[in-house]
Amino acid sequence: MRNAPLLLALSILTAAHASPALAASTDTTPIAQAAEDRSRHDGEGALLRLQVLLDRARFSPGEIDAVAGSNQARALRGYQAAHDLPVTGEPDPATWSALERDATPVLDEYRLTEADLAGPYRELPEDAMDKAKLDALGHASLAEALGERFHASPALLRRLNPELDRATAGTVLKVPAVAGPATARAARVVVDRSESVLRLLDDGGRVLAQYPASTGSEHDPLPIGDWSIVTVVENPTFHYNPELFWDADPKHEKATLAPGPNNPVGSVWIDLSKPHYGIHGTPEPASVGKAQSHGCIRLTNWDAKAVAAAVDANVPVTLQE
């Protein structure tokens, strides 16, 4: 097998540090091979490696998809500024050198369980009134559930694992190794509208972490100013009030939508002192930093959870241009 010594070393190292759900395997795909090759800094595998390393360094590229885009560039600019590197937004040699001080493999091997396959999974309706009839707003598919767990797009997981949609319990999958140290407690949250990012700062103003964010729209602009965090709610229900949405269907009525990762505010709601505004997750991670929001600060579910773990009530929040 091509690159067999590299793959054998990878599998031994992975098995040595794995949880019971992780298992070694020497089977891999070209993108997985390229992602683990530290000598290559171009191509799809290099982009996958870059995004995993940025994610682990707490400068999130959003949904890991191995495609160069605006969220990757934002993550690079943030990482470079925080590490006193030239701020280019490109994966230049100096940035690669700094990121690759983390020599841990960028892919893990995950063994599917019966619980993974059982879900339950179901396609969700688009209309808010129809969603309000459901008792939970869970994942639509196994690929979506795994994508959220490993910060990856379902399309990327399928490229890494062509057998994903016909997998059975015990199937070993290649997944991004996104586990890293928890973010330190933040002294301040800053949301930058022009950059479409949320940053966590320590008490000296140093950036601890950065996440791509959707930050309002022409109809619902970001409320510029200084606010504070009131409370943090895990797995929130969503109290839908069509009067607060300029684009709501005029036939809609007030309703309560059940918790779940596909709830309109995702898995976390961080309530701000500005009424009706918060920092929250989303059912559409690929849209973060690219699509507009209804005035709130929208992150991927996993990034919202990371922010929630680093803040508490009364942490100041600055929303700025």
Task: Answer yes or no: do 138 and 157 share one domain.
Answer: yes
The fraction of the chain above a pLDDT of 90, given in percent, is: 78
- What is the CATH classification number for the domain harbouring 220? 2.40.440.10
Q: Give the rounded percent of residues in the chain with a pLDDT score beyond 70.
A: 88
Q: Does pLDDT of 23 surpass 50?
A: no
Q: 205 lies in which domain range? A: 188-320
Lowest mean pLDDT among 19-33, 43-57, 73-87, 290-304: 19-33
125 and 198 in one domain? no
Q: pLDDT at residue 288 above 90?
A: yes
Residue 239 phi, psi dihedral angles, 5° rounding = -95, 100
Q: Is the pLDDT of residue 205 over 70?
A: yes
The encoded tokens of residue 195 equal 């950059």
CB 318 within 8 A of CB 189: yes
CA dihedral over 242, 244, 289, 54, signed as positive or negative: negative
Which residue from 225, 193, 206, 211 is spatially nearest to 293, judged by alpha carbons?
193
Q: State pLDDT tens for residues 118-133.
A: 999 999 999 999 999 9
Q: Can you tell me the mean pLDDT for 156-164?
A: 97
Phi/psi at 193 (5° precision): -65, -40
**What are 227's two structure tokens?**
């606010």
> Are 33 and 67 within one domain?
yes
Note the pLDDT of residue 297. Answer: 95
Which H or E run contains 22?
none
Number of neighbouring beta carbons within 10 Å of residue 77? 19
What whole-number distance in Å separates Cα of residue 43 and Cα of residue 118? 36
Clarify whether residues 146 and 39 are in a common domain: yes
In the prediction, which pLDDT does 125 show? Answer: 93
Same domain, 224 and 315: yes
Pairing of strands 225-234, 238-240: unpaired
Strands 278-280 and 225-234: unpaired
Q: How many domains does the chain have?
A: 2
Band of the pLDDT at 291, cuts 50, 70, 90?
low
CA distance 20 to 11: 14
Final residue in a domain of this structure, among 181, 198, 220: 181
Query: Whole-number mean pLDDT of the chain?
Result: 89
Residues 288 and 147 in one domain: no
Q: What pLDDT was estimated at residue 245?
A: 74
**63 CB contacts (<8 Å, ≥6 apart)?**
71, 147, 151, 152, 153, 285, 286, 288, 300
**Which pLDDT does position 295 carry in this prediction?**
59
Pair 161, 35 in one domain? yes
170 & 194 share domain: no
- 264-302: b (≥16 Cβ within 10 Å) or e: bbbbbbbbbebeebbbbbbbbbbbbbeeebbbbbbbbbb
Please identify, among 131, 160, 181, the residue that sits at the C-terminal boundary of a domain: 181
Residue range 26-72, pLDDT digits in tens: 468 999 999 999 999 999 999 999 999 999 999 999 999 999 999 99
pLDDT score, position 12: 30
Residue-wise pLDDT for 213-261, tens only, equals: 999 666 678 999 999 999 999 999 999 888 877 677 888 889 999 999 9
Q: Are residues 47 and 111 in the same domain?
A: yes
Q: Are residues 218 and 285 in the same domain?
A: yes
Task: Say which residue the tokens 């929040």 belong to.
Answer: 317
Q: Number of helices and strands (H, E) in the chain?
A: 10, 12
Q: Are residues 142 and 198 in the same domain?
A: no
- Pair (194, 160) in one structural domain: no
Last residue of a domain, one of 134, 150, 181: 181
